[in-house]
Structure formats: C-alpha cells, structure tokens
Structure 1
Amino acid sequence: MISGGSTDGDSNRARKAMGRRVCLEVNGRRRNEPIISFGPEDLRGVSLPHNDALVIQALVANYDVLRVFVDNWSSVNVIFKEALIQMDLHEYQLEAIETALFGFAGHTVYPKGEITLPLTLGSGDLRKTIMTVFTVVDAPSSYNIILGRPAMNEMRAVASIYHQKIKFLVRGQVGEVKRDQPSSRKCYGETVRIDQKKERREGKKKKMVQEAREIEEK
C-alpha cells in the first residue's frame, strides 16, 4: 500500500480542506446502469488456487504497458521513471509536488513530479479512456505502473483479486480486463529479491556505522 502524494491536496491546508468537505450521495447508481458483479464464469482461465496480486496490461499514452499492478489501497497512481524512459516520455515537463510517498518497503520516497497521461482499459467497443495523473517515482520496481484508487475511481472500475479481473462501466455496458498471472508471479519473485538486496545493503551500512562507533569509543 502507498500513502501520501497530492491526491487529496499537496499541503496540510489542502488536505484539511478536503477532509471538511461534505459529500452527498444521491440515489446510488444511475438509472438503467448495469450492475457490476463477478461469478463462476469469471474464473475461466484463472489458475486456482492462488494468492496472486492483480497484474494487467494497459494502454498508456498509446503504449502497451505490461506489469501494471492494480492496488486499491494506494492513494496515488504511480509510474516508475524507468517506464517513462522506455516509453520515451521522460523528457516531458513534470508538475512539481511537495508531498512524499510512504510504503515503499518502509521507506519515504520523494516523487520526481506528476504527469497526466491517457489510460485505456478494455478492447473493441468496450474500451474506455480517461486522463489520469501519475506520480513519477525513481526507484527500483518489478512493476511499470501501479494503478491506485484515483484511476480506479475515475474509471468507475471494480477489481476482484480472486477472479483476477477488473470490470468497469462504459457507455451503459460493462467492460473488463483480465489478469496476467504469469507476470504477477514473476513480479512477486523479483520484488522479494529487490527487498532482500535492500535489506542486505542496509544491514551492511548499520554494521559499518556500529564498527565505526566502537572504534571511536576505544
């Protein structure tokens, strides 16, 4: 889970103002809108049993992007700098932000900025495109993009990790995006290795600091 970022304001004052707003819900869903649901038919092709994260492929700025991690708990959408470089978008002007992100293996990360890009999910007549804000992070990751609550809410999408699928409303119908389980499992293994390397590096640093202190105390 990633928290922080500018989703609810890029300052303490802005976040407090957001918290004071009163949201009024009117009539729930709109008339004649289909209900999004998941059933046994949505499990076709899913490797069971599983504990896999939901990883999909998406079209971002007209690039087919693999390894897109769907994380309903994250307060921001994240695109990693390396992915921007691969997409040849790294030279675009980023909008500066002040708020740090928390949750990257327990560390605080200061974003490089924000960039607004078109995000497309689905295919054919059930394809939906929105413009959404991505927070740019320069950090090692097995994923290219993390889709958080902002994109999911803008898409009016619902994700089922068990069914390994996203469904969303598009022109009075329900579109969907299926999982990429092999990528999910590969990303998980790479994430574990990245975290292990970080832990070993930090362990070495702590050991060096401790040894330096012991030498000073002698």
Structure 2
Amino acid sequence: MGEGLRWPRPPVEGQSWRNDSKKKCEFYRDIEHNTEDCYTLRREIRRLCEQGELSHLLPCGGKQQDKVSSAKPAALPTCTKIINVITRGSDLSILRYSATKRHAIETKGDRLETSCRVSHSNLPVVAFDEEDIHDSQKHHDALIITLSMANCTVRKVVVDTCSSFNLIMLKTIENMGFNEKDLQKKTIQLVGFSGEIANSLGEIVIPTYARGINKQVRYLVIDGPSTYNVILGRPWLHLMKTVPSTYHKCVKFPTP
C-alpha cells in the first residue's frame, strides 16, 4: 500500500497474539476484530484511492464508474388492458369537451413541428443534484415553502401541481389586512378529487415575491378550514417557470 499508509499505534509492549482467538486484525495487530471489518483500514484505503496512490490496483485507473449508466433499464411490462375514465369535463381547470377537442386539433401540428426542431431557448437548464438534498432521511412530506406576499411573510404555502388555481384562505387575507370588499366577485366551482364541490368567494391579486422575482399573482379566495394558508397551483408554477421537487423539498426557477 506504499509509504503513504498511516499505520496505527504499535501494540503495547508485551502484548502477544492469542492463537486461539477467532478475530485478528493484521492492520492493528490486535484481536478485537477481523482485518476485513477494520473501519480505520477502510478509511485509509479510501484516502489513498482519492490521492491516486492505488490507481494501479483499481479498474479504469481509479476513476469512479457510473453505476447508474451501466445498469440496464427495466423492460417494459406487457400491457394486458387499458383503463380509461369518462368524465363530463374538468371543472377544476374550467375546460369542457369542446374546448379540449379544439385545443387538441390546433396544437397537433405544433407538436409535430416542435418534435423535429432543436430548441434554442435562452432559459437555463433547471436540474437537481445531491447537493440540493436538505435531509438525508427518507420522507414523504409535502412541498411547503414560505413566501413574501403584500409585505407579509406567509408560511405554510403548499406547492400543488394538481391544482388548476392558486388558492388562498379567507382567514389568511384577513390577517394580511384585506377584507371581502377587496375581492373581485367571481364564483367558481372547485371540485376535489372525490367529487366534493366548494364555491370560491372571489378573486384577489396579491404581489408575491420569491427569490428575486416579484409577480402580481391572481388567487381564488375560499372560506373553510384548511391546513395551509395558500395553495400554489399550476398558474404560479407556469408563471414562474418553476420546477418543483418533493424529494429535494425545494423549487427551482430561472431568475435574473
């Protein structure tokens, strides 16, 4: 292992190996554990590998191989049936069948053209890596952030990619200093995942600041008990060109 190996302290004088012991460490010259289980030796080997001392003993000259790229992807399972759903239309996104069909016809040619064209967008690439992980423990938490809205720090703001609207609770806007007179009267039926219906009280536009970006964001105001102050849906995500990651517990978006 070369002269760079840091040997541990020599054994105490007079200490001898017990031939009857089942555990022996050639690195420590001790009988407390086996050589292959010695953590100190493992750290020394790792340190020498990082310094390139053992490159002649390692594959690819000591360069780390990408285990993810070398792994074969799982084969596509055999499809035995297709499960569809019949619905009268999405109240959540205010779309009806006729509008959906018209939009599909109009964008069909655009999709074909886009697939054959190389993108030259000036937007930076938004990506996540291991440095973005704030908690190494496994979790299934929702993506909850804190935002500055109308000079107020609003906590418990949940990012929900399934919501077609930005929602804010009536109690939240009252705590911010607004009242129902500040609302633009607009009643919209909001349909939950199990079919329950709630009517909005109106709309309100609130300046929302997020890390260098200040936008005038339109919210639907609803009255009722809620665990969150605000639910940010796809309108805010698309407005900010946001890419959320529940695994990394953060959102990313391009800024100046």
- The answer as to whether partners of 2:187 and 2:201 remain within 8 angstroms in 1 is no
Deviations 1:70-106 (A, max 9, x none): 0011111100001011101124432222430011875
Match of 2:178 in 1: 89
The structure-2 alpha-carbon separation of the partners of 1:163 and 1:90, relative to structure 1 and needing over 3 Å to count, comes to same
The structure-2 alpha-carbon separation of the partners of 1:155 and 1:30, relative to structure 1 and needing over 3 Å to count, comes to farther
Q: How does 1:203-218 map to 2 (within 5 A)?
A: none
> Partners of 2:165 and 2:196 in 1: how far apart?
16
Q: How does 1:176-215 map to 2 (within 5 A)?
A: none
Aligned with residue 121 of structure 1, among 201, 210, 217? 210
- For normalisation by structure 2, the TM-score amounts to 0.56
Deviations 1:137-164 (A, max 9, x none): 0010110000000100001000000000
- The answer as to whether partners of 1:4 and 1:75 remain within 8 angstroms in 2 is no
User: One-letter code of the match for 2:176?
Assistant: M
> Partners of 2:126 and 2:202 in 1: how far apart?
34
Question: RMSD in angstroms over aligned alpha carbons?
Answer: 2.4
User: One-letter code of the match for 1:154?
Assistant: L
Aligned with residue 100 of structure 1, among 189, 206, 210? 189
SS in 1 for 2:182: coil
Structure 1, unmatched stretches of 5+, are 172-218
> Partners of 1:29 and 1:81 in 2: how far apart?
43
Aligned with residue 20 of structure 1, among 88, 102, 106? 102
1:76 maps to 2:165: yes
Shift of 1:62: 1.9
- The answer as to whether partners of 2:157 and 2:228 remain within 8 angstroms in 1 is yes
User: One-letter code of the match for 2:231?
Assistant: I
1:32 maps to 2:114: no
SS in 1 for 2:123: coil
Match of 2:142 in 1: 53
Aligned length: 159
Match of 1:41 in 2: 131
SS in 1 for 2:253: strand
Deviations 1:188-218 (A, max 9, x none): xxxxxxxxxxxxxxxxxxxxxxxxxxxxxxx
The structure-2 alpha-carbon separation of the partners of 1:63 and 1:99, relative to structure 1 and needing over 3 Å to count, comes to same
Higher strand share: 1
- The answer as to whether partners of 1:80 and 1:136 remain within 8 angstroms in 2 is yes
Match of 1:134 in 2: 219
Shift of 1:108: 1.1
> Partners of 1:78 and 1:16 in 2: how far apart?
26
Q: Identity over the aligned pairs, expressed in percent?
A: 33
Structure of greater Rg: 2
Structure 2, unmatched stretches of 5+, are 1-89
SS in 1 for 2:131: helix
Match of 1:67 in 2: 156
